[in-house]
Structure 1
C-alpha cells in the first residue's frame, strides 16, 4: 500500500464526517435485557458466545467447535456447512496471524483465549462488503466492555499432561475514556500420532519403491499474550479506538519418526520452534441520523522459526549417524486501510467502502549436512533458498438494501484489483474482477421467511504454493511451489427457509458451490524422489442441503442440532489425464444443556479429496459450569470423551499410492475457575 493512499483515506475522514448532519443529543436511558443468543441477518448469522461454558477456560477452537453451522477438526481445520474454503477474520478484518496456510490458522485458534470472544459471525455466502477470498467467512468478534466503573476478571485451569493456563482481563471507564486489556499465560500442547505408507512408481525410469513412516510426538507450547485497548468518545456521535495485541509461542517438540524403506532408521529432531504475533489498529467512527462512517488503519505481523534439524540413527543397514541442519524462517506483514460508509435511503440503506491491503510474505529455507567430527556445515544448494511474495489489493464495493412490503433485498458489487509479485525474479501478475452479490428475504409470515443468496469471488493462491524453489519434506519427498499460479474463481448460491413455532426454531437450505482454475497437486520424479508441486486446472462442484433445529421448552433445558448432506464432484489432473471423482459426505452437530451441564457432539463422515479419500471423525464434549456465588464459578471440561479424532486418508495417483492416518489426540479434562471483581 502506498503512503499516499493511506494519507488520502485519513485526510478525507473529517470532511466526510462533518458533511453529515448532526443529531439531537440523545436521552440517557438504562435498559436491562437479555441479549439474544442467535441473530439472523440477511447476510449472516450472529451467535452470542460470551457466556458459553466452554469459553471461560477454553481456546478459540473450543468456542468455534461448539458454534452451530461450523465443523472444527481436532487439528483446527474449519468448515462452514461442509465448505472448507473459509476466511477467518477478527473484528471484521484479516490479520497476519489468520492469513496463513491451514496449519498456521489452526495454531492461532488453539492458542487464542476463548474468554476474549464476545460473538461469532457465520457468513456462508458473504455480501460484496466482505473480502471473502473465495469462500465462507467466520468472524470472531472480541469483547469490548464500556460500563461505568472498573471491572476485573481472573481465570485459570489445569489439565492432565501438565497443561494449565492463567489469565486476567479488566476495564475501567472514566468519563469519555475507556481502557481495557488482558494478559494470559498458557502451557498447552497437542499429542500427535501419524502413520504413512507409500508405494511409488517413476513412469519415466520404471523404478519402484516403498516407504513407511510412523511417529508420535507431544508438542508442548508456552503461549504468552497481552492486549491493550482504549476507546475515547470525541462527541455524542464520534469515537476513536486504539488497540494493540502481542502473542508469543515457544515449543521444543521431540519428534521420533521411524522410516522403513531401502533403509530402516529413526529420524530424531527437537526444534526449537518459536513464533511472535503483533497487531495494532486505529479506528474512527461516526454515527448520526442513521448514517454511519468507520475508518480503520491496521498493521499486523507474524514471525516464525521452525528448526527441523535432525539426526538419522540407522538400524538396517548399520551406518554411522547422519546429522543435518534444517530451518524454515517466515515473516508475514499485513497493512490494511478500510473506509466503510452507510446512509439511509427512501427504501432502505446505501453502503459503500474502500479496502486497501498490502501483504508481504518473506520465507527462507536452509538445509545443510553436518560433519559430526568438526561440526562444519555443507549447505544443500537444491533445498536452501529464500523468496518473497508481495500481494497488493485495492477494492471498492457498493451495496443497496431495499425494503418493500414483505421483501428485503441486499444488492452488491465488489471491484478488485490484485497485484502479485514473487521474488527474487520479480515476476508480477495482475488480476481485475467485478464480483456481484445478491441476498433476498421474503417474510412469508411473522414467524417464517424465505431466503436466497448468490456470490461470485476470487481466491488468491497462498504464499507457500507460490514458492519457486524446492523444499525438503523427507528422504522420499520434496515440495516445490509454482509462481505462475492463477486465482481460483468460485461461485455459490443458497436458497432456504427459517421458521419459528412456540419454543421451536428451524431452518432448511439448499446450496450449490463451484470452482474453476482450482489449485491441485502436480507430481514428478527426480533421482527417484517424489516432487509435489501445485497447478491450476482442477474443477470442483458441491451441492446439498443443510438444516438446523433448536428447542427451548423452558429456562433450563436447551436442545439443538444442525447438519447437512452434500454431493461432491472433483475433476483433477493426473499426469496427462483428467480424473473425475464423485462422493457424498455429511456432518451432524448436536447440542444439549440442562442447568449447569452442557454437551456438544460432532460427526463428520468420510469424503473425497483430489485423487483420494479421508475417513470419518467424531467428537463428544461435556462441560459442567457451576456458579458458587455471583462472582465465582467453577468449570470442568471433558473434551473428546470417546477419542474419535483419528482421521485416515488415502491417495491413488498414477505415480504413487498412499495410505495413512493423522491422530491429533484431543481427549482431555480441564478443571478451572473464573473470579469477577
Structure 2
C-alpha cells in the first residue's frame, strides 16, 4: 500500500464549482508503480511483465533472471540450491510441466505471456509441494476495457526464428484473450564419456567410450484461448484452453568404442528420429468473493503425448555389415484435478484431488536389412501404465498479535498407486500422512522483519522410475525401474530476516532440509552396458545460508546480487554397502538494469559451483546474458538478447560405484544472439 502526501491527494479530487472569475480546476490522476518484487508471508512475487528479456524470450529466460533461481542449460531448475522443484501454471500442475517434458515446455513457452512468478521456498499446507519448492508461473489476463493486440517476432543465429500474436478484448462483464505462435528453435548438444567397469562375479574388466554431437531443431506451434465472465459483482466463471505441439528430426551420430578381453569394437550409431510431443490443457474456474468469504473451484484436465523414435543403424569401423534396429517409445501422461478452496477471515480450508495416469510403450527390434524382417528384443520391448490418485484436505489459520503474524496449517494426504504391466501382476500400494506447516513473521523494527517457516511433506516417486521393465536409452545405457518404490519423506526449516532501508532491500537466511527413503540410482554393468535401476533407502541432508541485496538508487537504475552456500551429505545404497558423500556447493547471481526514456539495458550473470547427486559429482557452470530494448515508437520496440556470452554451460561429471567408474561431459550450447520486435495495437 502506498501513502501519498496530502497535496498530491488534493490534486486528485474532482474540481469543486469555482467562484466567478476563477479558472476551473483540472483533474489530476496520481499513479504509483507497483513494486517489481513483493514479499508475502509464505512466498515472494516477482512481476515480470515489464522485463525486457521476456519480450522475445522464453519462460526459461524469465526464470533464469530471477533471484534465488538457477536454471541450467538443459532446463534443470533449482531454488536456493533445492533441485526438487514443482512448476505450476496459474497455481495448478499440468502434465506438460512434469517429468522429463518440463525442460522443453519451459524452453518453448513465451516469456511475454507471463505476468508474474511466485517463488515459494517452503510451501504452506494449502499447496501440494511434492517434497520441494514451488515456482508458480502466473499468465497475463488483461481485463482493461477495449481491444488490444500484440505482434512479436524474432530471429537468431543458426536460422532460428519465432513469430506470435496475442489479443484480448473486454467489454461489460466479458473478457476474451488468446494467443497463437510458431517457433523454430534448437540447441547444439555435445557429449562425451568413458566408462571402466568390472564384472563382480568373474572380475573381468572392460571399458567403453562414447562421443556425439547433434543440433536438435524443433518446430513449435502454440494456441491458447481464455474467457472470463462476471456473473455478478461477486461471482465469476473462467475457461482456459491451451495446445502446443513440438516436433524434431535430429540426426544423431554417436561414436562408440567398446573394449573387452584385449579387443576393441569401434562403430557409429546413427539415428534420425522423428521425435514428437503435444501438450493440451483445459480448465474451468468458478469463484465467489463477498461478505468476507472467498470460494474458488477449479476443474482441470491436461495431457501430454510423446513419441521418441530410437531406430538406429550401426556402422562398424572394420567394414563389417551394418546392424539395424527399429525402436520407439510412446508415452502419454494424463492429469485430472479438482480443487475447492475456501477462506473466511483468518481461516482457510480446501480439498485437492488429483488423478494421474502415465503409459509407456517401448519397442526395440533387430532388423534384417536384406529381408526387412524385425525380431523384437524381449528385454527392451514392453509396456506399462502407472495410475496415481492423490486425495488431500487442508486447513490453515492466520494469527495476528501485535507485531507477530503466523500462518498455521495441516494437510492430510492419501496416495494410492497402481502399476499395470502389459505382462505380469499388478502392483498396488498406498500411503497417507498428516503434514504440518508453520510460517511466522515478526516486525522487529519498522524496517526489518524476522521470518521462520517449517514444512513436512511426501515426495512421490516419478512414474518413469516405477517402470518394471528394462528400457533402451542409448548405445551405452539401459534403464530399469522399480514398481515397489515408496515416497520420500521431506522436512525443511528456514529462518531469515528482511531489511529495507532507503533504496536498499536485503535478506539473510538459513535453511536445513532432510530427505529420508530417498530414491537413488543403482548402477551395474551387463554385457558392457550400464544398467541404471532405482531403489529407496538413501538419505540426504543439506544446510546452508542464503542472502540477497537489491539497490535502486533512482527510478532508472537497479542492481542486485544473491547467492547461497550450503553443505550436502548423502548416504546412497550400493552393492557393497552405503556410500557416504559430503561436500560444499553454492550459487551466485548478479543483476543490473537501467531504464531510460527510450532504452532499457539489463544484465544477469549466474555461477553454479561444482556439486553432487547420489554417486555423481558434477562440475561448475556459468552464464552471462545481456538484453537491450529500444522503443522506436510508443507502440513499437526492438529487442536484442545475447545469451551465455562466454559459453559457460559445459558441465563435467564423474560417477564412482563398486562396479564401474564413469566420467564425461554434457554441453547444451546456450550461446545465442537474437533480434526481435514487439508491435502493440490499441
Report the TM-score when normalising by structure 2.
0.93
Q: Does 1:502 align with 2:502?
A: yes
* 1:422 corresponds to: 419
Distance, in Å, in 2 between the alignment partners of 1:328 and 1:201 is 30
* 2:193 corresponds to: 196
Q: Secondary structure at the match of 2:103?
A: helix
Note the 1:579-658 alignment, pairs <5 A.
579-595=579-595, 596-658=600-662
Distance, in Å, in 2 between the alignment partners of 1:194 and 1:529 is 17
Report the TM-score when normalising by structure 1.
0.94
Is the Cα–Cα contact under 8 Å of residues 325 and 369 in structure 1 kept in the other structure? yes
Number of residue pairs matched by the alignment: 642
Q: Secondary structure at the match of 2:53?
A: helix
Tell me the CA shift for residue 597 of structure 1. 1.0
Distance, in Å, in 1 between the alignment partners of 2:525 and 2:65 is 44
Deviations 1:442-475 (A, max 9, x none): 0011211000000000000011100000112334
Q: Secondary structure at the match of 1:110?
A: helix
* 1:326 corresponds to: 327
Cα 1:635–1:476, aligned 2, differ >3 Å: closer, same or farther?
closer
Tell me the CA shift for residue 137 of structure 1. 0.4
Tell me the CA shift for residue 528 of structure 1. 4.7
Note the 1:439-454 alignment, pairs <5 A.
439-454=439-454
Q: 1:127 aligns with which of 124, 127, 132?
A: 124
* 1:20 corresponds to: none
Cα 1:63–1:514, aligned 2, differ >3 Å: closer, same or farther?
same
Distance, in Å, in 2 between the alignment partners of 1:222 and 1:160 is 16
Q: Secondary structure at the match of 1:193?
A: strand
* 1:483 corresponds to: 483
Distance, in Å, in 1 between the alignment partners of 2:585 and 2:312 is 40
CA RMSD in angstroms comes to 1.1
Is the Cα–Cα contact under 8 Å of residues 44 and 123 in structure 1 kept in the other structure? yes
Tell me the CA shift for residue 326 of structure 1. 1.0
Is the Cα–Cα contact under 8 Å of residues 524 and 660 in structure 2 kept in the other structure? no
State which structure, 1 or 2, has the greater radius of gyration over its C-alpha atoms.
Answer: 2
Deviations 1:604-640 (A, max 9, x none): 0001221221000000000001111211111000000
Is the Cα–Cα contact under 8 Å of residues 517 and 539 in structure 1 kept in the other structure? yes
Q: 1:395 aligns with which of 385, 388, 392?
A: 392
Is the Cα–Cα contact under 8 Å of residues 324 and 370 in structure 1 kept in the other structure? yes
* 1:663 corresponds to: 667
* 1:19 corresponds to: none
Is the Cα–Cα contact under 8 Å of residues 325 and 366 in structure 2 kept in the other structure? yes
Q: Secondary structure at the match of 1:391?
A: strand
Distance, in Å, in 2 between the alignment partners of 1:667 and 1:477 is 28
Tell me the CA shift for residue 532 of structure 1. 1.4
* 2:433 corresponds to: 433
* 1:568 corresponds to: 568
Q: Secondary structure at the match of 1:382?
A: coil
Note the 1:207-246 alignment, pairs <5 A.
207-246=204-243
Distance, in Å, in 1 between the alignment partners of 2:160 and 2:69 is 26
Deviations 1:588-615 (A, max 9, x none): 0000012321100000000122122100
Is the Cα–Cα contact under 8 Å of residues 49 and 63 in structure 1 kept in the other structure? yes
Structure 2's unaligned 5+ residue stretches are 1-27, 259-263
* 1:534 corresponds to: 534
Distance, in Å, in 2 between the alignment partners of 1:393 and 1:482 is 20
Distance, in Å, in 2 between the alignment partners of 1:552 and 1:95 is 37
Distance, in Å, in 2 between the alignment partners of 1:181 and 1:144 is 10
Q: 2:314 aligns with which of 312, 315, 318?
A: 312
Distance, in Å, in 1 between the alignment partners of 2:564 and 2:274 is 42
Distance, in Å, in 1 between the alignment partners of 2:459 and 2:576 is 26
Is the Cα–Cα contact under 8 Å of residues 550 and 558 in structure 2 kept in the other structure? yes
Tell me the CA shift for residue 526 of structure 1. 3.7
Tell me the CA shift for residue 30 of structure 1. 8.6
Distance, in Å, in 1 between the alignment partners of 2:529 and 2:616 is 21
Distance, in Å, in 1 between the alignment partners of 2:128 and 2:251 is 39
Q: Does 1:407 align with 2:404?
A: yes
* 2:4 corresponds to: none
* 1:342 corresponds to: 343
* 1:82 corresponds to: 81
Tell me the CA shift for residue 308 of structure 1. 1.1
* 2:46 corresponds to: 47
Q: Secondary structure at the match of 1:97?
A: helix
Q: Secondary structure at the match of 1:648?
A: strand
Tell me the CA shift for residue 525 of structure 1. 4.1
Is the Cα–Cα contact under 8 Å of residues 202 and 528 in structure 1 kept in the other structure? no
Distance, in Å, in 2 between the alignment partners of 1:580 and 1:524 is 19
Is the Cα–Cα contact under 8 Å of residues 239 and 284 in structure 2 kept in the other structure? yes
Q: Secondary structure at the match of 2:336?
A: strand
Structure 1's unaligned 5+ residue stretches are 1-28
Distance, in Å, in 1 between the alignment partners of 2:529 and 2:269 is 18
Tell me the CA shift for residue 318 of structure 1. 2.5
* 1:521 corresponds to: 521
* 1:66 corresponds to: 65
Is the Cα–Cα contact under 8 Å of residues 119 and 134 in structure 2 kept in the other structure? yes
Is the Cα–Cα contact under 8 Å of residues 269 and 475 in structure 2 kept in the other structure? no
Moved more, 593-602 or 115-124: 593-602
Is the Cα–Cα contact under 8 Å of residues 87 and 133 in structure 1 kept in the other structure? yes
Q: Secondary structure at the match of 1:540?
A: strand
Distance, in Å, in 2 between the alignment partners of 1:272 and 1:251 is 6
* 1:10 corresponds to: none
Deviations 1:254-302 (A, max 9, x none): 1010001231011111100000110000000011133211000000000
Note the 1:255-404 alignment, pairs <5 A.
255-261=252-258, 262-315=264-317, 317-344=318-345, 349-404=346-401
Deviations 1:286-326 (A, max 9, x none): 111332110000000000000010001100x3210111001
Q: Secondary structure at the match of 1:465?
A: helix
Note the 1:449-464 alignment, pairs <5 A.
449-464=449-464
